[in-house]
Chain A
Amino acid sequence: MAFRYYKPKDRINKLSDYFELLDTLFHYERGFTETEFLSKIQATKGTAAPDSAYIFQQLLNYRLVDESNDFEPLYSLSLPYREFLEYLYQESQPVNSAIIQGYITTLENRIDDLKKAYDENSEALTLRFLKRLEREINNIAQTSSRNRLGVINEVRKLKLNDDNLSYKERLSEANRLWDEYLEPLREMISPQGSFGLITDRLKQILTVGEAKFTSQTELRQLFKQGRAMRIQLNEQTRLDLNEAQQELMPLREKLTQESRLMDAAGVIFGQIEQGKLAELPGFPYGRLLKRERHIGLAGLRGYMAELWSLTTEPESILLSDTAHTESAPLETESVLRLLNEMPSNSNVIDYFLEQHQHLTANEVLRAVSIVCLHQQDHAIHIRHEQQDYQLAGQTWRGISIYKGEITDE
């Protein structure tokens, strides 16, 4: 395609004429095939507008649209207009470190140019190169700021997750942002990085130039400005990087943590599927805690209930999920009845087991709790030594608890 020059105003007008169409293209980064593009033109053009094929060619001529090199070419919004619209929409994209590296290379060239101008003692060339240098510094500053906004924008999208990405996709996207944009930038900006080194060189060349052309007022002024801009650029790039990092880091950490939770879920489900349920760890509490402690503690500290002013029966947690037995044999009323009925000097637990042969450990424990609560009304005594009980085929070691005048001796 032959290169045509169009005045900036004409190009802006063309963008304005086809804004709706180009805006669609802006939001569809992949680009359209020719057929798709022509149909989009047809759908958006006015009734008095020229033929779709003519509009298509115009957009190519004005370089508002780029054609890809694919076998079936795709047409997308050309980069300068994309960046312009991003700027207007405040939807900056992060800037790849290669682009920043490009700016740094240009900066190196400007420094070399200045050095040559110094060697030639040319005030005119020095002035010219200093002005170009200023422009490059501004470009880098803008790019750095755009990069910060770009990362923040990407993080915002990831947080909103309008694209319904899975946690893994989001984590991979957050890692990509980090690896592609922030990590190289961080290295670059570090004192030993390419950016750190170039700003050192810049400082030297400006100091040398200022000393060399000290009698030339305009140049002296420009050197001062250049030095100030260099310091400002250093600060700004660091600030931009820090802000972008602060935005991305918490999200990345959160996604990493959540990704670990999902990996853990995979392990847990895997264990269940392999029938290794018993190997899953858990923690002790609830009824187990009560069971172990009620027997043990009651034995060790016979009057724990009194000490703690225990006044009501503790609620049980249904570990076995046998639905809460409405007809549990040893509820308060029946325990008290058994206490009344049992002969003096009897072991309470043995008596309960004789009366109800299929008691579970939990039912016994619950009954013992009730007995402890009412011990003063029934002359209950607890001996220090423990004894074995048979519950549902298992041997349980617990306190010796008696009704009557039995003493520890």
Chain B
Amino acid sequence: MSDELVTSSVFDIPGKAQVFQALVSGMHLSIHSGELFHYLSNHADAYQTELATLGYELVHEFDYYYLQPFDDDRSNDYSKRCLVFITIMIESIANSAQDIVETLFSERGFECDQLPHFTTERYRNYMQNMQGKDMGEDRQLRTLLNNMHRSGFIEYREADNFMRFLTPSHRFLQLSQEILEQHTKQTVASEAKS
């Protein structure tokens, strides 16, 4: 039976409960999210309308969706932690003379015990700075990977020692570009003053 046949009212969007739960818990739904993505992309307009009535904006970028509350641009520490995690990956890939974006999003992924985040003193300091609490490195990394997995930023299989970045991680690449732009503007402004 097709989804269209089951849909009888605007309150009856297929997969609504699961999709809502996933989105509200901060998950990014991409093609890797399976049927949730299928429900959402097939009824994107209906979802968008209904979520708007609840105060959320359904954002669609590249091939993924996520929720954003209207008029709320407050950030949280978790997103900063993800940003720093990815930034370390970017620098480490660049230092190994590989293509940054291609390698970052490669389907081959990465072995978790080979990740660069605790391999140098500098990276370790960044990670500890983000943490703010005394927590074992291994546990800190696993917690972050688990959370990023739940948010749909990465695929993480602890048992296989495997992780790979999914397209929603592009949000952090965009964010870092914005940070650079802001920094450049500030530098130009302060140079103009002096």
Contact = CB atoms under 8 A, between A and B. Distances in A.
A310 B25 CA distance: 12
B76 A284 contact: yes
B55 A268 contact: no
A115 interface: no
A268 B20 contact: no
Contact of A282 (B25, B69, B77, B173): B77
Contact of A308 (B20, B100, B140): B20
Which interface residue of A285, A288, A308, A321 has the most chain B CB atoms within 10 A?
Answer: A285
Interface in A53-102: none
B177 A316 contact: no
Interface in A245-288: 254, 257-258, 260-265, 267-269, 272, 277, 280-288
A382 to B, nearest CB: 15
Interface stretch (A17-25, A158-166, A202-210, A327-335): A158-166
Interface string B36-71: 000000000000000000111000000000111100
Given A310-B21, A317-B150, A321-B133, A257 B75 contact: no
Interface string A296-321: 11001100100111111011111111
Contact of B25 (A265, A296, A300, A317): A317
Interface residues of A, number: 53
A48 interface: no
Interface in A103-155: none
B143 A323 contact: yes
Contacts of A311: 17
A292 B79 CA distance: 16
Q: Is the interface of B mostly helix, strand, loop or mixed?
A: helix
B150 A282 contact: no
Given A260-B177, A261-B90, A321-B131, A304 B54 contact: yes
A258 B73 contact: no
Given A161-B97, A262-B94, A321-B133, A282 B83 contact: yes
A284 B24 CA distance: 11
B35 interface: no
A167 interface: yes
B74 to A, nearest CB: 5
B123 to A, nearest CB: 9
B191 interface: no
Contacts of A258: 94, 99-101
Contact of B100 (A165, A167, A300, A315): A167
Given A258-B100, A285-B26, A287-B26, A323 B139 contact: yes
B17 A284 contact: no
B157 interface: no
B17 A286 contact: no
B119 interface: no
Contact of B55 (A269, A288, A297): A297
Nearest to B81: A321
Contacts of B95: 166
Given A285-B66, A297-B54, A314 B176 contact: no
Contact of B21 (A263, A267, A312, A319): A312
B135 to A, nearest CB: 6
Contacts of A272: 84, 125-126, 129-130
A45 interface: no
Contact of A301 (B54, B75, B87, B133): B54
A261 B24 contact: no
Contacts of B147: 286, 317-318
B115 interface: no
Contacts of B66: 285
14 contacts: A165-B97, A254-B101, A264-B180, A272-B129, A280-B179, A284-B69, A284-B79, A285-B76, A288-B78, A293-B55, A318-B146, A318-B147, A319-B78, A320-B133
Interface of B: 11, 16-17, 20-21, 24-26, 54-56, 66-69, 72-80, 83-84, 87, 90-91, 94-95, 97-101, 122, 125-126, 129-131, 133, 135, 139-140, 143-144, 146-147, 150-151, 171, 173, 175-180, 182-183
Interface of A: 161, 164-167, 254, 257-258, 260-265, 267-269, 272, 277, 280-290, 292-293, 296-297, 300-301, 304, 307-312, 314-323
Chain A to chain B: the 9 pairs with minimum beta-carbon distance, closest first? A282-B75, A286-B26, A282-B79, A264-B176, A264-B180, A285-B26, A309-B17, A258-B100, A288-B76
